[in-house]
C-alpha cells in the first residue's frame, strides 16, 4: 500500500551511486526523494541540473537529495558524473521504491502506451514522516517549489 502524507515512511535500503542508501541513516535530516523517468533525457537532465544548482541551499536547509529511477547503477554513475551531481542516485530496477510511492503509471510515448515513472517528488521530514508530495511534475519552477517547502519545514 502506498504511503500517504503525514505517515511515517517505512525504512528502506537501496543500491545507489557511492554505495547503498538506508533511509533510517538519514534521520535528523530532511530528505527530498525525487523520482524521474530516465537518465540522459532532456527533462530529467534539466531537473537534475536544477537540483544540483540549488544543492547548497538544500544543504543549508538541512536536507539531503536522492534521485530515483529504474536505470542501472552504471547508467546512474555516468549521468551523475556527466552532470556533476553532488547527491546520490538510487537504482530501482525492481520498482520497489516506485511501488512504495506509487509512481509507476501508464504514459503515452510517441503515441504508444508505456509503463513508466511519473515524475514525482516527496519531502520527508527529519523524523521520517512524509510531509509533502508532488505528482505529475512539470520541470520548470519545480525545484524552486521544493526548496521553499523544505525551508518551511
Please give the positions annotated as active site. 44
> What distance in Å separates the CA atoms of residue 19 and residue 36, rounded to the nearest whole number?
20
Beta-bridge partner residues of 122: 33, 133
| DSSP element (H, E) containing 60 | helix 42-60
For the CA atoms of the chain, what is the radius of gyration?
14
Helix 142-152 with 42-60: angle, nearest 10 deg: 20
3-state secondary structure of 50: helix
> What distance in Å separates the CA atoms of residue 99 and residue 111, rounded to the nearest whole number?
25
Amino acid at each position: 500500500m502506498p504511503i500517504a502524507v503525514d505517515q511515517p515512511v517505512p525504512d528502506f535500503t537501496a543500491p545507489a551511486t557511492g554505495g547503498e542508501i538506508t533511509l533510517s541513516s538519514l534521520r535528523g535530516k530532511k530528505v527530498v526523494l525525487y523520482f524521474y523517468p530516465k537518465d540522459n533525457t532532456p527533462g530529467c537532465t534539466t531537473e537534475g541540473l536544477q537540483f544540483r544548482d540549488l544543492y547548497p541551499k538544500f544543504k543549508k536547509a538541512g536536507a539531503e537529495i536522492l534521485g530515483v529511477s529504474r536505470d542501472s547503477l552504471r547508467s546512474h554513475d555516468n549521468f551523475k558524473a556527466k552532470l556533476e551531481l553532488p547527491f546520490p542516485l538510487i537504482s530501482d530496477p525492481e520498482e520497489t521504491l516506485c511501488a512504495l510511492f506509487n509512481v509507476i503509471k501508464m504514459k503515452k510515448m510517441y503515441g504508444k502506451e508505456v509503463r513508466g515513472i511519473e515524475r514525482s517528488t516527496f519531502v520527508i521530514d527529519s523524523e521520517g514522516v512524509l510531509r509533502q508530495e508532488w505528482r505529475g511534475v512539470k520541470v520548470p519552477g519545480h525545484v524552486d517549489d521544493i526548496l521553499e517547502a523544505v525551508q518551511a519545514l
